[in-house]
Each structure stands twice: as C-alpha cells, then as structure tokens.
C-alpha cells in the first residue's frame, strides 16, 4: 500500500503542465531594466495623457523608497528588478478591424488554452478580454455589452475613451503607495481590463479576462478596474497561464473593485500560472494586490479563487465593508505541490453597521510545498452588529510539506460577533478504507475526498469555471495520499 501510494505520488509530481508551450509571435519589447525612462517609454507607447504619466512616476519614486517585504512565509532568491523587461507586446502591424486580422499564431495560442475568441464563446455566452504578455489583444462581445451601456474593454482603451472614469477610480481602492508590489505595478502597468456597469444594469453575460505570459524575461503587470454602479450586478472571471521556463518570471497585478449602493460584484479566479518543475526550478512569482470596496449600503463583493499555479503566490483579495449592511465573501482553494509556496488569504475590514463577512479557505499541500493562510478580520468601533465567520482548513498530503495559518482578528466594539476556526489534518485511513472497501481505488478515493473537501468553495464558481477548476484540482492532486 505504501509503495503504491508512493508511485501514485510520483505520477502526480511528474504530471506535466499542459499550458507550458511557447508561441512564436513577433514581440515589441521595452529595454531591460527599470528607470524613469522605461516608464516614459511605456507611457509614450500607450499614448497616455500627462496625468497618467505623473501617476506612474509618483508611484515609481515612492517604490524606490521601499524595501521588498519579508513578512510572508515565502523564500525565494532576491528578485533583480533591473533584469526584467517591463513591456512586451505582440507587434501590431495596423489597427485590427476584425478577428480575422488577428495574428493566427495568437489565435492558435488561445485555442490551445481552450479559450476561443470566436463563435464558441457565443455559445457559452462569455465575453472575453485576452491579455497576452502585457497587452490586451482582443475583447469579444463589446458590442452586445455596449447595448446595455456596459463598458468592457482593455485598460488602455479605457484610458483613451473614458479617461474621466479611470481618473476617478484608479488608485481609489489600491493606492499607488499601498505596498511594494502595488507601487511597482502602478509605475509600470502595461494593460489590463476595465469594466463599468451602469446604474441598475445586470450584466447579462459573464465577463472574463484571460492572462497569458508568453515572452521570456518579461514581467507582467496588469491592472483590472471594475466599477459596479448602484444596483448593478456583474460576475467576472479571470484565468491565467504561462509557458514553462527555467527562470522565474514576475507577475505583479492589481485588481480594484468598486461596488456602489446595492451593487454586487462576483470575482472568480482560476490561477494556473506555470508552477515550476518538480525540482522547484522556474515558475511564476505571483505578487498580486486585489481589493474591493463596498462603497454604498447593501453592496456585496465576493471573491472566489482556485490557486493551483505559480512558484510563489502572494495574494490577499480583500474587501473594505464601508456601506451599512454590506457583505464581503472570500472562498479559496489553494493547492501547492512540489516546491510551490503560497501565502494567501484575505482581509475583511468592517466599517459600516451590520456588515457581514464570510471566509472559507481550503489549503491543500503536497510534495515539498508550503501553503499559508494569512487573514485579517478587523471590526472598528462604529461597525455595530458586524458579523464574521471564518473557516480555514488545511489538508496535508505527504510528510515533507507545510500548512500554516496566520489569522489576525481585531475587534473594537461590543455588539459584533467574530468567529474563527481552523483545522489541519490529512486524509484519514478510515476515509480511504471506506472507499477502497467499496471498490474505489486509492487514486480515485483521494480525488473524491479532496473534491468533497474543496466543494464548499468550488460551488461558488460560475459553471464554466467550476468544470475547469475541478479538472485542475484532479490534475494537481489525483492519487496524492498522505
């Protein structure tokens, strides 16, 4: 049995990353390294207004004064920020009029990823904004959305076409001086997605962004800004992959969500950046700042994430519950294998009265990986009757991995109730025995148990994603027995 389990574990660790191909597309890149000139270069390339350049330079100057944070439970060789290409874009020959003119190599890439930018999406009814390396290459369904007054486009287009919205909201949730990686992103961000749902509109289809790092030695720094005006609703999905490379690549993104009165935003992520090989070489360093603000009363923001990729994940999708009766949710499954390291969790800041938050975090560690949950629940004095429930479970598969929980809870009033519970365990022999006794082999039994364990989170994913996430989970973990 031991032997068999080891074999299965081996199989899992040897299973390939199927998105690890590289597409040969002609690229246009900025010179290696970071300086004010690089930033000016990016800004000029994107034909940006003066104020945005000033925003970038401010962020850059602030970034220079900072040191890379070391508090996370992560170990990696120092990142040489001068050794990164901060801007890489598929070379545009001319303005694209229709999908037919998109580089066929590029379309191939997205077809391989299973994201068709074409008809298939019409069947599934998902609008896609695809970002390759640093630049948004194609947004589908813009016209359908425009009918409802919804703006869904690349960040650069938004800067050109809706500067007043960008100017008003960019940096309002994650200011450029928020943290080291947010400052870096604010200085060099290249593109990303922008989404505005007008008052009273319920977005009829799911919106989706697909991020892909393709070129070597580049960092990807995208920025997403979602604004849901009063009584609006949107469900937003994000997916990401990268080619297999020996060196580590940096990804530092920002996602900002603004939910006005009675608005609801549901943000789902399936993060599958290249995690490195089984010896821990290569892989993406994923340092992401995600935050939403429930600005008006009764607003709701819900984060759901499935984290299976990246050599390093540093990510804390947070909600600032400012409006009265607003709701914040965080559902997360984080899987680490081999030498992956994840330090992820959430922050729920209760400011308004009767605010509620729910945190469900499921960590699964295997191989030599380390998986940490780090969360903050803060209830300030005026947040009367605030309510929080947190549950953070860790599952350990194998005796060389680690699972850690760092929950910070701070409460400053007498009418709030905050509950936190966490458990750490492995798949018990009893559970396995039960399954095997009924003719289910070890591998399937583990898959079954892990899927059951993660179900609480997966059921919050939109259907299109849930299927993908379940597949991902089984690829990462099938047969892993602790």
> Which positions touch other proteins (CB under 8 A)?
71, 73, 381, 394, 396-426, 482
Tokens of 396: 């350990």
Tokens of 447: 């898959």
Q: In whole angstroms, how close is the CB of 472 to other proteins at the nearest point?
A: 22
The rounded distance, in Å, linking the Cα atoms of 261 and 259 is: 7
DSSP string of 236-249?
A: EEEEEE----SSEE
The rounded distance, in Å, linking the Cα atoms of 1 and 76 is: 36
The smaller minimum CB distance to other proteins, of residues 223 and 374, is found at: 374
Residue 359 C-beta-side C-alpha neighbours within 13 Å: 33
Positive/negative CA dihedral, 258, 416, 372, 15: negative
The rounded distance, in Å, linking the Cα atoms of 448 and 453 is: 9
The smaller minimum CB distance to other proteins, of residues 116 and 411, is found at: 411
Q: In whole angstroms, how close is the CB of 383 to other proteins at the nearest point?
A: 10
Q: In whole angstroms, how close is the CB of 278 to other proteins at the nearest point?
A: 19
Question: Do residues 409 and 418 lie in contact, with contact meaning Cβ atoms separated by under 8 Å?
Answer: yes
The smaller minimum CB distance to other proteins, of residues 167 and 420, is found at: 420
The smaller minimum CB distance to other proteins, of residues 186 and 332, is found at: 332
* 429-437 LR contacts (CB < 8 Å, sep 24+): 432/481
The CA-CA-CA angle for residues 150, 153, 156, to 5°, reads 135
Task: Please report where in the chains the tokens 């922050």 appear, as a residue.
Answer: 347
The smaller minimum CB distance to other proteins, of residues 269 and 332, is found at: 332
Task: Please report where in the chains the tokens 């034909």 appear, as a residue.
Answer: 47
The smaller minimum CB distance to other proteins, of residues 179 and 249, is found at: 179
Other CB atoms within 10 A of residue 168 CB? 12
Which H/E stretch holds residue 307?
strand 300-307
Collapse the DSSP code of 62 into the 3-class scheme (helix H, G, I; strand E, B; otherwise coil) and give the result. helix
Tokens of 451: 């899927």
Beta strand extents in 62-190 (DSSP E only): 88-90, 126-132, 135-139, 151-154
């Amino acid at each position: 049995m031991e032997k068999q389990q080891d074999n299965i574990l081996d199989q899992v660790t040897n299973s390939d990353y199927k998105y690890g191909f590289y597409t040969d597309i002609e690229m246009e890149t900025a010179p290696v390294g970071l300086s004010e000139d690089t930033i000016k270069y990016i800004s000029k390339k994107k034909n940006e207004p003066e104020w945005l350049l000033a925003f970038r330079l401010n962020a850059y100057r602030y970034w220079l004064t900072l040191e890379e944070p070391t508090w996370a439970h992560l170990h990696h060789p120092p990142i040489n920020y001068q050794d990164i290409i901060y801007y890489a874009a598929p070379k545009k020959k001319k303005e694209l009029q229709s999908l037919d003119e998109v580089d066929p190599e590029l379309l191939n890439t997205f077809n391989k990823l299973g994201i068709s930018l074409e008809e298939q999406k019409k069947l599934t009814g998902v609008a896609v904004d695809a970002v390759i390396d640093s630049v948004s290459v194609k947004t589908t369904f813009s016209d359908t959305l425009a009918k409802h007054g919804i703006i869904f486009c690349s960040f650069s287009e938004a800067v050109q076409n809706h500067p007043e919205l960008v100017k008003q909201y960019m940096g309002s949730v994650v200011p450029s001086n928020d943290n080291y990686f947010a400052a870096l992103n604010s200085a060099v961000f290249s593109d990303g997605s922008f989404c505005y749902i007008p008052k009273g509109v319920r977005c009829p289809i799911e919106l989706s962004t697909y991020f892909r790092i393709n070129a070597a030695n580049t960092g990807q720094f995208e920025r997403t800004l979602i604004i849901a005006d009063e009584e609006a609703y949107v469900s937003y999905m994000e997916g990401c992959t990268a080619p297999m490379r020996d060196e580590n690549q940096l990804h530092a993104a920002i996602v900002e969500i603004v939910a006005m009165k009675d608005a609801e935003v549901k943000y789902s992520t399936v993060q599958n950046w290249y995690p490195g090989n089984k010896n821990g070489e290569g892989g993406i360093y994923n340092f992401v700042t995600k935050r939403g603000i429930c600005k008006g009363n009764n607003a709701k923001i819900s984060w759901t994430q499935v984290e299976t990729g990246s050599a390093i994940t540093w990510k804390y999708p947070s909600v600032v519950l400012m409006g009265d009766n607003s709701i914040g949710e965080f559902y997360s499954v984080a899987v680490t294998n081999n030498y992956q390291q994840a330090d992820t969790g959430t922050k729920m800041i209760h400011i308004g009265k009767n605010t509620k938050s729910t945190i469900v975090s499921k960590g699964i560690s295997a191989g030599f990986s380390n998986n940490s949950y780090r969360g903050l629940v803060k209830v300030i004095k005026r947040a009367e009757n605030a309510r929080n429930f947190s549950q953070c479970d860790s599952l350990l598969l194998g005796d060389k991995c680690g699972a850690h929980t760092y929950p910070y809870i701070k409460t400053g009033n007498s009418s709030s109730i905050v509950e936190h519970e966490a458990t750490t365990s492995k798949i018990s022999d009893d559970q396995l025995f039960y399954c095997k006794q009924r003719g289910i082999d070890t591998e399937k039994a583990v898959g079954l148990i892990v899927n059951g364990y993660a179900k609480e989170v997966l059921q919050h994913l939109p259907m299109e994603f849930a299927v993908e996430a379940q597949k991902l989970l089984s690829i990462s973990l099938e047969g892993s027995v602790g």
